[in-house]
């Protein structure tokens, strides 16, 4: 019986692995876990099967004569080291890059960023936060000084109003979603802002069914109404915020009527949403990828921060601006500095003091200029400037936008090295595939969406010759002549904590207790910080920043008359490499689907189950229709888990100019029966 | 079958160690604050008052994954025969014993179940006090054991323990451990009655349970509860499979073929009737298409007399685990509260 | 078939019996009749009744339930099993890829078939689509056992003339004395001059023509209740109408739970139920809202 942390979403539920005969025979909920309290979602309950899948990679694969063939570790590592060295020799240190994993442990992510910076000598290190919550990090750092969820999950039980924006919480963060449903049943008002009629939207007191990508207009309309009715928290604004007048002036023209014209929501609804949220004593605001995956993602995050600050909801119990992070350790991978511009703890690589600390600790000169983001690395690969790439536990060929572009650029690399559990679509393109250990086969930590750092514990040995990512990187670094010097996961954590103020007070000994610790935890006796910004914002005063509505980069027209949005299903996760190997999960949604409204379906003579083609300017995908009022007329929605029907063959890679986040949540498409 | 009085709780410790001579002894223990079934070899203090573990013992008899046959590259196909260790569970509560009686009746002569079940000796311990969330008393499954045990223990306030044996194996276990019993005298019988009364009185009043059960069981089947009531509960089922996994009487499984090179295995794997895919047919037809249909079907299976098992007991034994694990707050008490007009 | 000497009998008895595809016949694009020859004698399968089913196993693809479309009782060769299979899922897809000689596993027979009594009573059989397959063996057994002169009506509905299956049997029944075969086509194509519409449109005519006292129905879910109601309206007692239900099944032996309808299991209490009994099972026809076909 090994208590550990769930490897799926970022809620950070506690689960217990029961191992017999070298196999996880049962996965059960941890009855005393402070977050999940004896509950799990369907993914958690079904976390066992993929571990024992015969399809797990058990030995390294090396491409020979065009085919991936089994190879010894020594051969594969030598080939990888040689390719990385050759790429550096030819194109300089920035001709190589590392994509870290938001699914692996903090220790793996720290190893990845150290490997990129100290071994390869480049800041080209990034991970999939780029396509989920990079705008949260960028936006909230500007307004509050910290890019993370401000309040704990448990605070939703203390709230007087729950305000959910662009998040399908019951499906994607089920244990939080259930808690929201329960709070709502106790009488706490629930407002849901979502273009789709999600389960929560159907339950909500108010469903604000706005047009795709019009959140800023909605929030500015709400702010207008709040100022107009005097619902703002004047004392809080005076004491704790800055730039109030500028914000108030910026929304002066955003009357509810003006906002209604842009959002497609009635002015009365906008005012009602403003009243419910602003006049409740404490409002717990949570949001998801519906906010971030837009060209205006960072500005939309800022808008929500404005809303929370104006109503005095930051730094208080039951309030907050709470990004619901997607992957188990996407918070941790960001915290660990698996990002091109920061070391662990968001210490900027451009900051000389920070750089010196890491140079001193690691005994090596580090690069000074920020590196490339994951998508910039793809473009650099396309242009021939990036020649070799190490991808750890991520499947950008399925999960990144832009049609076949990603696969093409990955093929164009001189060398693609992939560490994975399975031969994913990305791994199939690799020159060298290295078998990785799963969460159940290694020690480490995950940091959940509420900044909760929790232990991941080894319950069984990895299959075949698979190794933890950090061990793979350590071995590769040794081949390159600069070993990372790691002995075990606890040692990596200790090194990281010594270099990372927000984790400085943590150790494996302290993390033994259920629920771990929430950062910041600066000293060994510090109890951790479930709630941020209590004594004033991390940056000092909360900064109100006027933002203006920017329409989606691509709007419908005669050729592509519908808007496509993407979403996630409860029973699948990411590109499905884990969940699609669980028979019950795979059976539940056996193939890719596109949801469409009856009026759009009827016009095209499409019925539920019919084969349809979804086309955009970037590509097309064939899938099956679900006719449903989950989506409004004019909008179609696809889950992105299925490689055989991936919406990312058609989604737009137009970027948020600040966070470089692609606009995965909206593009123009045509749909026809086929 | 019979009963006797043990002089003290130390006799129970003797029994536990005796059982450990030729069995793995599994007992509830508090681990990091959570009651869990733990292998103890009968050592250490027995947890007389610990609440039942959230995860019961069902998986020992009906594992989450049970290979039933295997084949290799030569085309040979052989059934997979389990060889379970001899086990003694000490400390099963009445609810879990009632559930095992259901499992015994359901699986009957199924060789996989029977092989695992026959390897286990069951020692119950009566609950003198209601546990949080348990409502065994409302469904005639507890708090004193009724069924399935080889031995059942009732601790008395004076330190003595009444041991009832439900099988020859149970009786022999006492003898083999060198535990002697005295006849149950009239005073002890009276005391047992008082304890039962006190235990019953310790349960909170939940009048909605009886109301909900009555509505659900009104004839003709299903007539008293409008479809809309079930459809209103439907969206609260997030299809997590928690209730069916923890329910000690849930027995549904699917069968999957697992390929491994040229060979493979066919395995029974726990399934959940609350999943949409559970009954979806290859043609696309679905006999329970809406979530509310599936919620209704599940709860009829648990709470309707049509599904009554051994002793006429409902498929729900009142353990309350589903209420703990349901993110949508529609475990048994949640549903009965809705049906009984309490929510 | 395998060396099971060391295996306890209770386990050995659960193994599928090995059989090879001995013959196959294309019924239409997606429907095929397979004749399997069992490797070892299987008296239980030889003795199967119409309406019973078996589990067909393909290693790597699992098992699925199929009703017998021909039986030794109806004249099929002992030691063979005949199934008419529609290609709808991964297992049937894999089966269609098999050639003559390929090995499958068979377990059965399971369930309660059409009641064996009643050969002396005028009976109407109503089949829709590939529901004719399970009903064929019932019809053939009935025709063998009925006393001379007892009339039979067979109403068979198909989507198009081309999608009619088991045409040799249709022709044979047509040629039998005192058999009234009514083929009904939902979407007639050019050249079809017979009946058009749904089977329910012709049930009354069939019942009247032979003064039917009992009936058997097999077909897609949406057709079953509509047909049974039409039979009742035409005067057949609900207790004498026998309906073959279908459900997703995983074990065939009442354990896996997939096929339960209220408190009954389709696999062990059915798959054939009288319409009177189905009246007490409100879940039997949920999800059959689409128009009868």
Considering only alpha carbons, which residue of chain A is nearest residue B64? A26
Shared domain check, B223 and B131: no
End residue of a domain, out of B172, B201, B230: B201
- Return the pLDDT at A591: 73
- Chain A with chain B: Cβ pairs closer than 8 A: 116
> Are A82 and A90 in contact, with CB atoms under 8 Å apart?
no
A275 domain-assigned: yes
Q: Which of A308, A311, A338, A343 is nearest to A323 (CA)?
A: A308
pTM: 0.94
Shared domain check, A180 and A294: yes
Residues 232-251 of C with CB under 8 A from B: 246-248, 250-251
Q: In angstroms, rounded to a whole number, what is the distance separating the alpha carbons of residues C91 and A61?
A: 32
**Are residues C256 and B109, on separate chains, in Cβ contact within 8 Å?**
no
Shared domain check, A176 and A310: yes
CATH code for C123-244? 3.40.50.80
Shared domain check, B184 and B211: no
B327 domain-assigned: yes
Residue among C88, C251, C258 whose CB faces B282 most closely: C88
Number of domain units in chain B = 2
Number of domain units in chain A = 4
Residue-range definition of the domain harbouring residue A13: 2-52
Q: Is the pLDDT of residue C2 over 60?
A: no
Q: Is the pLDDT of residue C293 over 80?
A: no
Q: In angstroms, rounded to a whole number, what is the distance separating the alpha carbons of residues B224 and B208?
A: 15
* CATH number for the domain that contains residue A315: 3.40.228.10
* CATH number for the domain that contains residue A654: 2.40.40.20
How far is residue A80 from each of residues A62, B43, B260, measured CA to CA in Å?
Answer: 9, 54, 29
Residue among A38, A48, A178 whose CB faces B328 most closely: A178
Q: Which of A574, A570, A567 is nearest to A584 (CA)?
A: A570
Shared domain check, A640 and A576: yes
The whole-number mean pLDDT for each consecutive block of 10 residues of chain A, a chain of 674 residues, reads 95 95 93 96 96 94 96 97 97 96 96 98 91 86 93 97 97 97 96 97 98 97 98 97 97 97 98 98 96 91 98 97 94 95 96 97 96 92 95 85 78 96 94 98 97 97 97 97 95 98 97 95 97 93 96 93 94 88 90 91 93 92 94 94 84 80 88 93
Shared domain check, B296 and B228: yes
Q: What is the DSSP letter of A118?
A: I
* C neighbours by CB contacts (3+ pairs under 8 Å): B
B256 domain-assigned: no
Residue-range definition of the domain harbouring residue B89: 2-64+81-201
B302 domain-assigned: yes
Among C2, C17, C220, C270, the residue to mutate for chain B (most B Cβ within 10 A)? C2
| Helix, strand, coil percentages, rounded to 5, for chain A | 35, 20, 45
Shared domain check, B94 and B28: yes
**Are residues A32 and B329, on separate chains, in Cβ contact within 8 Å?**
no
Shared domain check, A314 and A375: no
pLDDT under 50: residue ranges of chain B = none
What residues of chain A lie within 8 A of the CB of B272, using their CB? Answer: 584
> With an 8 Å Cβ cutoff, is C157 touching chain B?
no
Residues 273-292 of B with CB under 8 A from C: 273, 278-283, 285-289
> With an 8 Å Cβ cutoff, is C190 touching chain B?
no
A486 domain-assigned: no
Q: What is the DSSP letter of C33?
A: E
* B neighbours by CB contacts (3+ pairs under 8 Å): A, C
**Are residues B256 and A38, on separate chains, in Cβ contact within 8 Å?**
no
Strands A347-348 vs C31-38: parallel, antiparallel or unpaired: unpaired
Shared domain check, A72 and A11: no
A285 domain-assigned: yes
Coil/strand/helix, residue C178: coil
> With an 8 Å Cβ cutoff, is B293 touching chain C?
yes
Q: Where are the beta strands (DSSP E) in A497-592?
A: 517-518, 542-543, 562-567
Residue among B81, B222, B253 whose CB faces C8 most closely: B81
Considering only alpha carbons, which residue of chain A is nearest residue B55? A28
A250 domain-assigned: yes
Shared domain check, A46 and A87: no
Shared domain check, B211 and B183: no
B72 domain-assigned: no
Q: In angstroms, rounded to a whole number, what is the distance separating the alpha carbons of residues C67 and C112?
A: 11
Cα A198-A202-A206 angle, rounded to 5 deg:
110
pLDDT tier for residue C245 given thresholds of 50, 70 and 90: very high
Q: Which of A48, A51, A27 is nearest to A464 (CA)?
A: A51
Domain boundaries, chain C: 9-110, 123-244
What residues of chain C lie within 8 A of the CB of B278, using their CB? Answer: 248, 258
Shared domain check, A159 and A112: no
Min Cα separation C60/chain B (Å) = 5
- Enumerate residues 6+ apart whose C-beta is below 8 A from A65: none
Q: In angstroms, rounded to a whole number, what is the distance separating the alpha carbons of residues A93 and A87?
A: 8
Shared domain check, B165 and B60: yes
**Are residues B283 and C61, on separate chains, in Cβ contact within 8 Å?**
no
Shared domain check, A286 and A181: yes
**Are residues A39 and B326, on separate chains, in Cβ contact within 8 Å?**
yes
Q: Is the pLDDT of residue C1 over 70?
A: no
CATH number for domain C9-110, candidates 3.30.2350.10, 2.40.30.10, 1.10.3720.10, 3.90.550.10: 2.40.30.10
Residues 103-162 of B with CB under 8 A from C: 106-107, 109-112, 114
Q: What is the pLDDT of residues C4-50, one digit of tens each?
A: 568 999 999 999 999 999 999 999 889 999 999 999 999 999 999 99
Shared domain check, A415 and A278: no
> Are C15 and B115 in contact, with CB atoms under 8 Å apart?
no
- Return the pLDDT at C291: 35
Strands A161-165 vs A190-193: parallel, antiparallel or unpaired: parallel
**Are residues C15 and B77, on separate chains, in Cβ contact within 8 Å?**
yes
Q: What is the pLDDT of residues C150-196, one digit of tens each?
A: 999 999 999 999 999 999 999 999 999 999 999 999 999 999 999 99
Min Cα separation C143/chain B (Å) = 31
Shared domain check, B296 and B280: yes
A345 domain-assigned: no
**Are residues A583 and B59, on separate chains, in Cβ contact within 8 Å?**
no
Q: Is the pLDDT of residue C290 over 50?
A: no
What residues of chain C lie within 8 A of the CB of B280, using their CB? Answer: 248
> Are C33 and C83 in contact, with CB atoms under 8 Å apart?
yes
Within 10 angstroms of residue A508's Cβ, the number of other Cβ atoms is: 17
Min Cα separation B204/chain A (Å) = 21
- Return the pLDDT at A398: 77
Shared domain check, A65 and A44: no
A17 domain-assigned: yes
Shared domain check, A229 and A211: yes
Alpha helices for A205-351 (secondary structure H): 215-229, 234-240, 244-250, 256-263, 267-279, 289-292, 297-310, 330-335
**Are residues C2 and B78, on separate chains, in Cβ contact within 8 Å?**
yes
**Are residues C10 and B107, on separate chains, in Cβ contact within 8 Å?**
no
- Enumerate residues 6+ apart whose C-beta is below 8 A from A529: A451, A518, A519, A520, A521
A516 domain-assigned: no
Q: In angstroms, rounded to a whole number, what is the distance separating the alpha carbons of residues A427 and A404?
A: 15
- Return the pLDDT at A664: 83
Shared domain check, A498 and A415: yes
A225 domain-assigned: yes
Shared domain check, B215 and B182: no
Shared domain check, B23 and B160: yes
Residues in chain C: 293
**Are residues A570 and B239, on separate chains, in Cβ contact within 8 Å?**
yes
Alpha helices for B66-218 (secondary structure H): 94-107, 111-118, 168-176, 186-201, 207-216
- Return the pLDDT at B253: 97
Residue among A25, A179, A199 whose CB faces B63 most closely: A25
Q: Kindly compute the dihedral angle of the four CA atoms of residues C149, C150, C153, C154, in this order, to the nearest 10 degrees.
A: -90
């Amino acid at each position: 019986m090994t208590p550990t942390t769930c490897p799926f979403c970022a809620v950070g539920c506690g689960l217990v692995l029961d191992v017999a005969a070298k196999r996880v025979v049962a996965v059960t909920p941890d009855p005393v876990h402070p977050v999940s309290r004896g509950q799990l979602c369907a993914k958690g309950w079904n976390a066992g099967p993929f571990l024992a899948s015969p399809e797990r990679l058990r030995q390294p694969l090396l491409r020979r004569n065009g085919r991936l063939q089994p190879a010894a570790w020594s051969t594969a590592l030598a080939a990888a080291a040689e390719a990385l060295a050759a790429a550096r020799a030819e194109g300089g240190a920035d001709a190589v890059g590392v994509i870290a994993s938001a699914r692996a442990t903090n220790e793996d992510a720290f190893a990845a960023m150290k490997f990129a910076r100290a071994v390869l000598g480049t800041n080209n290190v990034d991970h999939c936060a780029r396509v989920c919550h990079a705008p949260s990090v960028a936006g909230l750092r500007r307004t509050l000084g910290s890019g993370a969820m401000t309040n704990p999950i448990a605070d939703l039980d203390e709230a007087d109003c729950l305000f959910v924006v662009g998040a399908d919480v019951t499906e994607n963060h089920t244990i939080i979603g259930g808690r929201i449903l329960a709070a709502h049943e106790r009488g706490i008002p629930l407002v849901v802002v979502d273009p789709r009629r999600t389960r929560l939207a159907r339950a909500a007191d108010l469903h604000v069914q706005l047009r795709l990508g019009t959140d800023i207009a909605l929030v500015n309309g709400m702010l207008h109404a709040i100022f107009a009715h005097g619902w703002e928290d004047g004392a809080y604004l005076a004491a704790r915020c800055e730039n109030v007048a500028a914000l108030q002036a910026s929304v002066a023209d955003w009357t509810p009527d003006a906002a209604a014209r842009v959002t497609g929501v009635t002015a009365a609804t906008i005012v009602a949403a403003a009243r419910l949220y602003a006049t409740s004593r404490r409002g717990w605001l949570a949001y998801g990828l519906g906010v971030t995956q837009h060209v205006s993602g960072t500005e939309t995050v800022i808008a929500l921060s404005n809303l929370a600050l104006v109503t005095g909801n930051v730094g208080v119990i039951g309030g907050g601006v709470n990004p619901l992070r997607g992957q188990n350790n996407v918070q941790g991978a960001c915290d660990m500095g698996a990002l091109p511009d920061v070391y662990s703890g968001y210490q900027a690589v451009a900051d000389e003091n920070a750089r010196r600390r890491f140079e001193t600790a690691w005994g090596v000169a580090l690069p000074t200029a920020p590196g490339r983001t994951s998508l910039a690395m793809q473009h650099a690969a396309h242009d021939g400037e990036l020649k070799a790439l190490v991808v750890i536990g991520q499947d950008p060929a399925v999960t990144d936008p832009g049609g076949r572009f990603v696969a093409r650029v990955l093929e164009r690399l001189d060398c693609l090295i992939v560490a994975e559990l399975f031969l994913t679509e990305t791994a199939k393109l690799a020159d060298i595939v290295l078998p990785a250990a799963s969460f159940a086969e290694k020690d480490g930590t995950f940091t959940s969406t509420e900044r909760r750092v929790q232990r991941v514990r080894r319950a069984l040995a990895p299959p075949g010759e698979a190794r933890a990512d950090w061990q793979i990187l350590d071995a590769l670094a040794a081949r390159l002549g600069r070993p990372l010097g790691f002995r075990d996961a606890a040692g990596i954590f200790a090194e990281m904590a010594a270099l990372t103020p927000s984790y400085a007070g943590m150790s494996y000994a302290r993390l033994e207790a259920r629920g771990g610790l929430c950062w910041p935890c600066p000293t060994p006796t510090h109890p951790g910080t479930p709630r941020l910004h209590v004594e004033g914002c991390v940056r000092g005063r909360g900064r109100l920043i006027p933002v203006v509505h920017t329409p989606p980069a691509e709007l419908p027209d005669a050729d592509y008359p519908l808007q496509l949005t993407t979403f996630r299903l409860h029973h699948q996760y990411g590109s499905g490499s884990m969940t699609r190997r669980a028979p019950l999960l795979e059976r539940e949604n056996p193939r890719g689907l596109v949801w469409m409204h009856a009026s759009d379906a009827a016009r095209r003579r499409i019925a539920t189950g019919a084969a349809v083609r979804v086309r955009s300017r970037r590509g097309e995908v064939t899938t099956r229709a679900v006719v449903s009022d989950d989506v409004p007329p004019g909008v179609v929605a696809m889950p992105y888990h299925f490689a055989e029907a991936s919406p990312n063959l058609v989604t737009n890679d137009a970027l948020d100019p600040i966070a470089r986040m692609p606009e995965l949540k909206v593009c123009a498409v045509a749909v026809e029966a086929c | 079958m019979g009963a006797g009085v043990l002089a003290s709780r130390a006799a129970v410790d003797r029994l536990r160690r005796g059982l450990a001579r030729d069995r793995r002894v599994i007992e509830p223990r508090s681990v990091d604050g959570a009651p869990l079934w733990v292998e103890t070899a009968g050592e250490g203090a027995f947890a007389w008052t610990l609440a039942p573990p959230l995860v019961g013992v069902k998986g020992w008899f009906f594992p989450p994954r049970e290979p039933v046959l295997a084949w290799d590259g030569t085309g040979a196909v052989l059934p997979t025969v389990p060889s379970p260790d001899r086990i003694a569970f000490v400390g099963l509560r009445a609810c879990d014993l009632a559930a095992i009686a259901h499992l015994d009746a359901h699986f009957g002569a199924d060789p996989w179940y029977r092989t695992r079940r026959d390897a286990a000796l069951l020692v119950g311990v009566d609950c003198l006090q209601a546990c949080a969330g348990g409502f065994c008393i409302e469904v005639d499954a507890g708090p004193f054991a009724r069924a399935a045990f080889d031995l059942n223990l009732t601790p008395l306030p004076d330190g003595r323990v009444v041991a009832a044996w439900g099988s020859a194996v149970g009786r022999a276990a006492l003898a083999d451990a060198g535990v002697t019993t005295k006849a149950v005298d009239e005073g002890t019988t009276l005391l047992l009655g008082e304890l039962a009364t006190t235990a019953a009185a310790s349960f909170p009043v939940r009048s909605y349970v009886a109301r909900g059960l009555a509505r659900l069981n009104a004839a003709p089947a299903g007539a008293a509860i409008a479809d809309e009531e079930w459809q209103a509960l439907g969206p609260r089922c997030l299809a997590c499979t928690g209730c069916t996994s923890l329910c000690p009487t849930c027995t549904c499984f699917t069968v999957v073929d697992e390929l491994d090179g040229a060979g493979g295995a066919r395995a029974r794997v726990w399934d959940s009737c609350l999943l949409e895919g559970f009954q979806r047919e290859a043609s696309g037809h679905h006999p329970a298409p809406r979530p509310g249909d599936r919620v209704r079907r599940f709860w009829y299976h648990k709470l309707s007399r049509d599904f009554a098992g051994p002793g006429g007991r409902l498929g729900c034994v009142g353990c309350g685990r589903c209420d703990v694990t349901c993110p949508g707050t529609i475990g048994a008490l949640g549903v009965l509260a809705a049906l009984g007009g309490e929510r | 078939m395998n060396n099971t000497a060391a295996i306890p009998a209770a386990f050995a008895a659960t193994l599928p019996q090995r059989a090879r595809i001995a013959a196959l016949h294309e019924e239409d694009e997606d429907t095929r009749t397979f004749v399997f020859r069992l490797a070892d004698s299987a008296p239980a399968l030889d003795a199967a009744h119409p309406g019973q089913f078996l589990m067909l196993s393909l290693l790597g693809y699992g098992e699925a339930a199929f009703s017998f479309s021909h039986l030794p009782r109806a004249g099929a060769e002992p030691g063979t099993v005949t199934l008419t299979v529609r290609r709808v899922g991964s297992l049937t897809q894999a089966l269609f890829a098999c050639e003559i000689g390929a090995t499958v596993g068979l377990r059965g027979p399971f369930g309660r078939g059409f009641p064996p009594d009643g050969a002396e009573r005028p009976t109407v059989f109503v089949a829709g689509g590939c529901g004719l397959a399970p009903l064929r063996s019932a019809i053939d057994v009935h025709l063998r056992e009925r006393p001379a002169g007892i009339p039979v009506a067979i109403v068979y509905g198909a989507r198009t003339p081309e999608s009619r299956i088991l045409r040799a049997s249709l022709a044979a029944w047509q040629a039998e004395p005192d058999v009234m075969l009514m083929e009904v086509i939902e979407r007639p194509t050019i050249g079809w001059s017979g009946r058009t519409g749904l089977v329910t449109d012709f049930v009354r005519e069939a019942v009247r023509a032979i003064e039917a006292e009992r009936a058997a129905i097999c077909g897609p879910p949406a057709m079953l209740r509509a047909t049974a109601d039409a039979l009742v309206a035409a005067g057949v007692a609900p207790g004498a109408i026998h309906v073959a239900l279908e459900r997703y099944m995983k074990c065939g032996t009442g354990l896996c739970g997939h096929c339960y309808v209220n408190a009954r299991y389709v696999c062990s209490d059915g798959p054939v139920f009288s319409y009177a009994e189905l009246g007490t099972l409100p879940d039997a026809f949920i999800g059959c809202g689409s128009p009868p076909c």
